[in-house]
Amino acid sequence: MSVLQEIIPSAFLFAAPLIFTALGGVLSERSGIINIGLEGLMVMGAFVGIVVNLELAPFMMENFGSTGKLLTPWISILVAAIVSALFASLHAIATVTFRADQVVTGVAINFLALGVGLFLIKQIYGKGQTDMVDAPLNSTDIPLLSDIPFIGPIFFEGTYYTNWLAVILAFVVWYVIFKTPFGLRLRSVGEHPIAADTVGINVNKMRYIAVMLSGFFGGIGGSVFALTFAQNFSHGTISGQGFIALAAVVFGKWHPLGALGAAIFFGVAQSLSVIGSGIPLLENIPSVYLQIAPYVLTILALVGLVGRAESPKALGTPFIKGSR
């Protein structure tokens, strides 16, 4: 009980940014665009989230008091998501309109985001990293739900609203992808764009939307990570979380709920590796095994040992109208 109470909140906290970002990855890849740039989108989200928070907090606190302080991180996250969506449109322009190699542009997005972020931090603040924000996301007990016996303390006490937003969004994305006409179109351009084109779906438009949505979600993920963990922006704020999210996309078999599960699994694995020394069963396992477990499983999933991971058929191939 107490062990669960320790592991789950910490795992969940770590997983939340991964869930957001992985959802973005799912959307983009379902439409047929590989998105190696998730890391860069998170960096952009973290950068914008922190800067907006730093700039906005004094104003909000002055005018709206403690409510303003509570609102500030949410506004920061929203702005970060929008800016990252615009930033991701670069990836869309390159890969959809100009049919550039999707992996190469994705890598470029990663470099570009960090370069732009650090460069602007330097221009704005005259130093290599920002100060810590005054209005980060803080944990709270969710009213009513935290009073439920057993489940309450584990899931709803000292938790973050962003955690639950991530879970809810995973279900929303699942619904959108699998239960709506929009989702059907999105999947069809990722599976067989030529067929989709012949029935009148605008393939390029769908892909643009999907990639920009991945930027939106990646931006949320990055800013949530920065506002809960690092609380400032520097070259190392986002250090590989985007790639872990990418692994979650693959491990979750390009399914929103799969990605949700994978991200939580990664969180649990990491949380166990941190806390494991205190748990009787695990204390004899070197923590490095727990740390590498998610990645080993991802590789196994890719080579088909843990169920078959099948990517969207047209993933990575640009659509050329009229070709067959």
Partner 1 sequence: MKKRNFLVTLFLSFTLILAACGTSDEGNADGDSGEEKNCEPSDDAINVAMVTDVGGVDDKSFNQSAWEGLQAYGEEYCLEEDEHYDYAQSTQDADYEPNLNRLTGQDYELVYGIGYKLTEAIEKVAGQNPDTNYALVDEVASEMDNLTSITFKEHQGSFLVGVAAALKTESNQVGFVGGVDSPLINKFEVGFEAGVKSIDPSIEVDVRYAESFDDAGKGRQIANSMYNSGVDIIYHAAGGAGNGVFSEAKDIKTNDPESYVWVIGVDRDQYDEGTVTVDGTDYNVTFTSMVKRVDIAVQDVAERMMEGDFPGGENIEYGLSDEGVSVADTNEEAYTEEIATAVSEWEQKIIDGELDIPSTHDELEEFLNNL
Give the list of residues 6+ apart from residue 107 with CB closer than 8 angstroms, or none.
36, 37
Neighbours of 320 (CB within 10 A): 12
Kindly state the smallest distance separating residue 314's Cβ from partner 1, in Å: 17
Lookup: tokens for 117: 């972020």
Kindly state the smallest distance separating residue 103's Cβ from partner 1, in Å: 11
CA distance 228 to 137: 6
CA distance 284 to 279: 9
Nearer to partner 1, 118 or 184 (CB): 118
Nearer to partner 1, 57 or 201 (CB): 57
CA distance 210 to 41: 14
CB 117 within 8 A of CB 37: no
Kindly state the smallest distance separating residue 43's Cβ from partner 1, in Å: 12
Nearer to partner 1, 19 or 186 (CB): 19
* Phi, psi of 91, deg, nearest 5: -60, -40
Kindly state the smallest distance separating residue 186's Cβ from partner 1, in Å: 24
CB 48 within 8 A of CB 73: no
CA distance 189 to 268: 34
Closest CA to 228 of 153, 162, 142: 162
Nearer to partner 1, 6 or 191 (CB): 6
Kindly state the smallest distance separating residue 140's Cβ from partner 1, in Å: 7
CA distance 251 to 139: 29
Kindly state the smallest distance separating residue 177's Cβ from partner 1, in Å: 28
CB 227 within 8 A of CB 16: no
Nearer to partner 1, 201 or 230 (CB): 230
Chain residues binding partner 1 by CB under 8 A are 6, 9-10, 13-14, 66, 90, 94, 98-101, 104-105, 108, 111-112, 115-116, 118-119, 122, 126-129, 131-132, 134, 136, 138-140, 158, 225, 228-232, 234-237, 239-241, 270-271, 274-275, 277-278, 291
Nearer to partner 1, 191 or 234 (CB): 234
Kindly state the smallest distance separating residue 85's Cβ from partner 1, in Å: 18
CA distance 185 to 189: 6
Nearer to partner 1, 139 or 202 (CB): 139
